[in-house]
A = this chain, B = another copy of it.
Amino acid sequence: MCELLGMSANVPTDICFSFSGLMQRGGGTGPHRDGWGIAFYEGRGVRFFHDPAPSVESAIARLIRSHPLKSHVVISHIRQANVGKVCLENTHPFSRELWGLSWSYAHNGQLDERLYELPLTFYHPVGTTDSEYAFCWLLGQVRQRFPSPPGDIAELSAYIADLCDRLRAFGVFNMLLSESHYLFCYCTTKLAWITRRAPFGEARLKDYELTVDFCHETTPNDIVTVIATEPLTDNERWERLGTGELIVFENGLEVARRSPPGAAV
């Protein structure tokens, strides 16, 4: 299994604090030694860092921790390999272009062989992971259904949730996905988020001896949502997504939600 970390914010925000916690799980407090990667969106552009080395030992990870890159949307992943050997092309996040937008995606979980019965259309995997195959299928389906971007985020979100449901039938599918503006989060087993806004308080990392007082780091209008496979701090209240639930964030705020089919409302 792997660890996921995502962020959606209304102002360019650095993810150093949360990333400091996550990278400890890459061979430090966790077993996820098989590489890591991160996507930072700045406007429509995106900056990737991929490293098949453990994050806790990585010079590039240290650079990111010490050299804050500010972003509206971030997707990060540290990997414990199950399907596919440890190599650069199997390192999340994966990316493809659709509608002139750079889509990025990272997956936690494992999908069984039935996945490969889903036909690929436009996009083909470069590596050998189930995760990248699922992404290529999902994005190809979105492209077929919406040759140009739908105006309505609810319509797009509902369709993406349906596709995620189909993938969840093959195993565990926790996912973060973005096209630069929205952050789509889908849960099978574990995904938790917190929205920080004024009045900001103090947060203490679980995985690393580090406390930050966000009221010194932020302005009163900042809204920052962080989402991860497990809560990263032990003195704040994180909310958990349900099985089969999709939540979409824009500028740090929830803008769409598709609760699991058949769930009580």
Q: Report which A residues bind B (CB closer than 8 A).
A: 42-52, 59-60, 63, 67, 87-91, 96-97, 99-102, 122-127
Q: Supply 29 A–B pairs (Cβ within 8 Å), ascending by A.
A: A42-B87, A43-B87, A43-B88, A44-B126, A44-B127, A45-B50, A45-B52, A45-B87, A45-B88, A45-B89, A45-B126, A45-B127, A46-B89, A47-B48, A47-B50, A47-B51, A48-B50, A49-B49, A59-B63, A59-B67, A60-B67, A96-B97, A97-B124, A97-B126, A99-B124, A100-B125, A100-B126, A101-B126, A102-B126
Name which residue of chain B comes closest to A90, CB basis: B45
Question: Which B residues are in CB contact (< 8 Å) with A89?
Answer: 43-46, 102
Question: Which B residues are in CB contact (< 8 Å) with A60?
Answer: 63, 67
Question: Which B residues are in CB contact (< 8 Å) with A122?
Answer: 122
The interface residues of chain A, by DSSP majority, are classed as mixed
> Whole-angstrom distance between the alpha carbons of A52 and B59 in the complex?
21
> Whole-angstrom distance between the alpha carbons of A106 and B132 in the complex?
25
Question: Which B residues are in CB contact (< 8 Å) with A88?
Answer: 42-43, 45-47
Question: Which B residues are in CB contact (< 8 Å) with A63?
Answer: 59-60, 63
Query: Which 3 A-B pairs have CB atoms at the shortest separation, nearest pair first?
Result: A45-B88, A45-B89, A100-B124
CB distance from A49 to the nearest CB of B (A): 8
Given contacts A43-B89, A45-B52, 19 further A-B contacts (CB under 8 A): A43-B87, A43-B88, A44-B126, A44-B127, A45-B90, A45-B91, A46-B89, A47-B51, A48-B50, A59-B63, A59-B67, A60-B67, A89-B102, A97-B124, A97-B126, A100-B125, A100-B126, A102-B126, A122-B122
